[in-house]
Amino acid sequence: MTMETCPKCSSSKIEVGWILSAGKIAFRSDRLPYPFTGGNVRTYVCLDCGYTESYIDAKYLEKIKSKLASDGEPS
């Protein structure tokens, strides 16, 4: 998933990067406790208005979906 156009101002000037803390920001589902690590959060920024949009790493999404499937919940 990527952000090609700003949903707020329709600009196509989109910059991609990471939101930083001491390291990359990651998302960890409550459904995937230890030993599962989180998925990195990739972020896109509109260079005209500053709107940001973030996506979780695709491999981590697959881990969450697999966990849901093994728990017998609809995917």
Asked if 3 is part of the footprint of Zn ion (rule: CB under 5 A), the reply reads no
Residue 3 or residue 56: which is nearer to Zn ion going by CB? 3
Among 26, 28, 41, 48, binds Zn ion (CB under 5 A): 48
Least distance from Zn ion to the Cβ atom of residue 49, Å = 3
Asked if 49 is part of the footprint of Zn ion (rule: CB under 5 A), the reply reads yes
Within 54-73, the residues that bind Zn ion by CB under 5 A are none
| String of DSSP letters for 13-74 | -EEEEE-BSSSB-EE--TTS-TTPPPEEEEEEEETTT--EEEEE-HHHHHHHHHHHHHTT--
